[in-house]
Amino acid sequence: MRLLLINPRFPESFWSFRWALENVVPGHKTVNPPLGLATIAALSPPGWEVRIVDENIESVPLHPNADVVGICGMGVQFRRQKELLAYYRSRGCYTVAGGSYASLCPELYQDLAHTVISGEAEYIWPRFCRDFEAGRPAPVYQETGVVSLADSPVPRFDLLQVDRYQAMTVQFSRGCPFLCEFCDIIVMFGRKPRTKSVEQIRRELEALRTLGARNVFFVDDNLVGDKRQARELLRFLGAYQREHAYPFRFGTEASLNLAHDAELLDLFRRAGMSWVFVGIESPDEASLRETRKLQNTGHDLLASVRTLYRHGLEVYAGFIVGFDHDTVDTFERQYEFIQASGTQAAMVGLLTAAPRTPLHQRLQREGRLRNEFHAVDNTRPDTNVLPRQMSYETLVTGYRRLYRQLTTDAAIAGRLRQKLRYFRDPAPGPRRSLRESSSILHRFLRHGLLPGGPRRLWHFLRSLPWLRPHLMAAAVEDWIVGLSMQDYVRRHIASAEQSNPLPLTVLLRRVEAALHHFRQKGSLRVALVEEPAARLILSIRTHHAEDAALFRRIRGPLEGWLRRSRAGLTLYLEELHTLHTGELDRLLQRLARYGDRIRIVVHEHLRERVHVDSSRFELALVPAQG
């Protein structure tokens, strides 16, 4: 049997760190690999031929040689996952849907895929494989029992393009003991953490070390959910790192009560844990109690963050606005807390009610869910929650303003200075070579520091740890994170009034005027669609060699459209002269930084010779007719 496993392209988010990956860190295309698919591959029968395609680093195959196509997906990937399922199903492939969103909402998939895998895969995926080989696969396989992680195999890391990812991933535990109202983790995995053995982790690390991985992210939603098991893991990791001369730089997610356990903190450092993501959510205790984030109450949150710094841990943190106790003053309190905490990677989200969560159930009873909301990304300026203490418009406006404040050069420098007041030497781990460090510094200066002019240079210089030069590299990394978030906010979060003072109709007229000659010839049609979301539509038909000038002339106007607005762009490629594929490639290279807002539709008869990188652009996959 031939099995094709696909991880759909993610919409760009803060977690993409796209500016950093494209401009500063050479070689990597995305942050983390699809660990779930690598695990599915390991659970498949030995005789099956398995291929993993991650659309975040490469294009999906349009004509796959596969008996089964399995497509995973989180909530933010659902739209693309649906499109991929429809496309491959229309081409005669047996389609299987899985992932966290199929586990939460299996009913959404039953008309989209031949089979739905809902829940943890260790037991139900092998059952599906046996049934498929026997010719009687069921429409739904749902895990209703408790999965022992002792039965989870070493993922097939060898099927992943390790060098294309910023960090590889490992999972030690599933489940979390806490009761946060908005969280779907306890819905999927329960409140009693289950863990792998340290021997299982040793085998996974050995596989990753053999493949040359250096950065490893423990994707547990709370690594210290079971502190006894966490201590055992960390002691093992410390011994493993010392035995092999610290080959890995580890990071993970943990609850903030980690800061109150001196032994755990010492073990974190000895294990080479260099960073941790913590869910702080809010500096307001009333909001924390409302959402049942009780583990963050009753103590000084700032002091907890600073304790983590003193143990050499970089801190990434999550924050939420829109709780029932939040008011218009909340945005300023969040800003002041984040600045004082020194947290450079501060992921602020609008409160969003994910399906099946206690929050979703409560707001549904209260009639406070927005029906027109369909996304599941709480870092976008949109949510399905109707706030209690302010209007929806006030919430979104305050959120945009908060992120504009947080991503100024002055704010980036201010947070770095605050962190360095408390930060100890980083945990031991692999160090970059002089050549690699020099390359990153050169790219940062060229693409990050110098384009900001003298004012950015001044903020940068005054934020550096001149008396502790061994922390210079960490300071530059903070600036890379800050500028990456600044770039994302400017392109996705800043209000339309801030980023686009001209109406779309004015921008449209500029595009039409610049391309008037080609419109008259019939090589180009231009239209503006404003509902449900504004998009510029261009239909291209080139029949003659001299039409190559169209692709050169079109670059500037389209860049202007994408730079001056947050509206999308759709390119319909209806006809293309055989000599124009190179011109098209150059146009797409020029527009690639806006690729998450560009949808490309290629006519069926052009697909053999027009290749669009679906990891960079939204490539429309039109189901086969008949």
Bond from prior residue into 106 cis (ω within 30 degrees of 0): no
pLDDT at 343 over 50: yes
Tokens of 445: 């200066």
Q: What is the DSSP letter of 342?
A: T
From CA 246, how far away is CA 374, in angstroms rounded? 44
Q: What is the DSSP letter of 75?
A: G
Q: Cα–Cα–Cα angle for 384, 390, 393, nearest 5°? A: 60
pLDDT at 379 over 70: no
The helix (H) or strand (E) run that includes residue 524 is strand 524-529
| Percent of the chain clearing pLDDT 70 (strictly above) | 97
Q: In this predicted structure, what is the pLDDT of residue 302?
A: 98
Tokens of 558: 């389209």
Q: Quick check: helix, strand or coil at residue 402?
A: helix
Rounded to whole angstroms, what are the CA distances from 368 to 291, 349, 391, 397? 16, 18, 12, 19
> CATH top-level class for 167-421?
alpha beta
CA 16 to chain centre: 5
Q: In this predicted structure, what is the pLDDT of residue 377?
A: 59
From CA 537, how far away is CA 569, in angstroms rounded? 6
Contacts of residue 248, Cβ cutoff 8 Å, sequence gap at least 6? 205, 208, 209, 213, 214, 215, 216, 241, 272, 429, 430
Least confident of 143-157, 279-293, 588-602: 588-602
Q: In this predicted structure, what is the pLDDT of residue 154?
A: 99
Contacts of residue 249, Cβ cutoff 8 Å, sequence gap at least 6? 214, 215, 216, 272, 274, 429, 430
Domain ranges of the chain: 2-19+27-142, 167-421, 504-620
pLDDT tier at 493, thresholds 50, 70, 90: confident
Average pLDDT, the chain: 94
Q: Across residues 482-491, what is the average pLDDT?
A: 93
Q: What is the CATH number of domain 504-620?
A: 3.30.750
Q: Across residues 423-431, what is the average pLDDT?
A: 92
Tell me, what amino acid is at 369? L
Residue-wise pLDDT for 500-512, tens only, equals: 456 888 889 999 9
Is residue 234 within 8 A of residue 264, CB to CB? The reply is yes
Q: In this predicted structure, what is the pLDDT of residue 601?
A: 96
> CATH top-level class for 2-19+27-142?
alpha beta
Q: Across residues 389-416, what is the average pLDDT?
A: 97
pLDDT at 496 over 70: no
CB atoms within 10 A of CB 135: 6
Question: Locate tokens 């020029």: which residue?
Answer: 590
Tokens of 179: 């009761």
Q: Across residues 100-124, what is the average pLDDT?
A: 97
| Percent of the chain clearing pLDDT 90 (strictly above) | 87
Q: Across residues 194-199, what is the average pLDDT?
A: 98
Is residue 12 within 8 A of residue 492, CB to CB? The reply is yes
Q: Across residues 365-385, what is the average pLDDT?
A: 78
pLDDT tier at 497, thresholds 50, 70, 90: very low
pLDDT at 570 over 60: yes
Tokens of 78: 């659902």
Is residue 199 within 8 A of residue 369, CB to CB? The reply is no
| Neighbouring-strand partners of residue 69 | 4, 95
**Among 265, 278, 316, 280, residue whose Cα is nearest residue 424:** 265
Phi/psi at 216 (5° precision): -130, 125
DSSP 8-70: PPPPP-GGG-HHHHHHTSSS--BS---HHHHHHHHHS-TT-EEEEEETTTSPPPSS---SEEE
Ranges 15-29, 56-70, 532-546, most confident: 56-70
Q: In this predicted structure, what is the pLDDT of residue 556?
A: 93
